[in-house]
Amino acid sequence: MDATALLRAYDEQLRTDAETRSAVSVISLGPLRLADFDGGEGFVTYRDLGGSDAGRIRRLVAAARAFFEADSAITEVEWKTRGHDQAPGLHDALVASGFVPEEPESIMLGDAASLAVDVALPDGVTLRRVRDERDVRAMCAMQDRAFGGQVSEHHADAILRRLADDDGMELWIAEAAGEVVSAGRLEPVPGTDFAGIWGGATLETWRGKGIYRALTSARARSALALGKSLVHSDSTEYSRPILERSGLIKVSTTTPYVWRR
């Protein structure tokens, strides 16, 4: 599939209820879907903005902000934008309502088979899928450190709750001498051709050794075994070149705008 066909599949298959299937609740506000996730996290997404002009977009942003602000349990809200959308005035409207843009990421799409290749691992490094609480907490702590943040029990608690819900998410880690050095999730999307590759992180001292690519390959093989032929990922500038070398295509960008109480 070329970039145009992949982007069409992304818009048609993924920008649906599939984006919010693990939400506690979802309501519609015009073209928007406002979702509430466990842990006080709000999320705004949509298939498109229905040809809205700048004035209507400004009103939609203000209404979404007011909806979440009225719920004291919501501590932060992410509005997920895509670079290929027709959205006049959206940036200005979001900033005016207190949403702060974070770093843009590349929307990467492609055939799962292109990622499912043999990758040599450094001596002493092994890969495995994990579910036990001890492994999950070690994985989440490594990801927090790798992304430059503080280790958060909240992160691990949220992942453990999702595992308990048995929604199909898989967790994969790479270990060296009993230490988790890299990790990532696989999230098959029911009713679509896609599985998502998310949360990829590698400790700085272990980068550049093929470990992330090997983890990606393991997840792609699992996706194929589940009948998923396509892979999608929102990639940082660390992972984008690796996925491009494996055959995935950058079809657009996504920028989260975040409001915090």
What percent of the chain is predicted at pLDDT more than 70?
100
**Six token digits for residue 176:** 């060296």
**Six token digits for residue 239:** 């992972």
> Which residues have CB under 8 Å from 216's CB, separation 6+?
115, 184, 197, 200, 242, 243, 246
Instruction: Answer for the pair 259, 65: CB distance below 8 angstroms, yes or no.
Output: yes
Instruction: Answer for the pair 144, 151: CB distance below 8 angstroms, yes or no.
Output: yes
Q: Is the pLDDT confidence value at 247 over 90? A: no
Instruction: Give the mean model confidence (pLDDT) for residues 50-61.
Output: 97
Residue 71 φ/ψ region, left for φ over 0, alpha for ψ in the -120 to 50 degree band, beta for the rest = beta
Residue 239: what pLDDT?
A: 83
**Cα→Cα distances 56→5, 16, 37, 75, 200, Å:** 30, 22, 26, 26, 37
Question: Which pLDDT tens digit goes with each residue over 8-43?
Answer: 999 999 999 989 988 999 999 999 999 999 889 999
Instruction: Give the mean model confidence (pLDDT) for residues 60-76.
Output: 97
Please tell me the pTM assigned to this model: 0.88
Q: Is the pLDDT confidence value at 90 over 90? A: yes
Instruction: Answer for the pair 57, 87: CB distance below 8 angstroms, yes or no.
Output: yes
| Residue 207: closest CA among 149, 151, 142, 152 | 142
Which domains are seen in the chain, by residue range?
Answer: 14-106 (no CATH), 110-252 (3.40.630.30)
Q: Is the pLDDT confidence value at 218 over 90? A: yes
Q: Is the pLDDT confidence value at 150 over 90? A: no
Considering the chain, what is the average pLDDT of its residues?
94
Distance separating alpha carbons of residues 231 and 235, to the nearest angstrom? 12
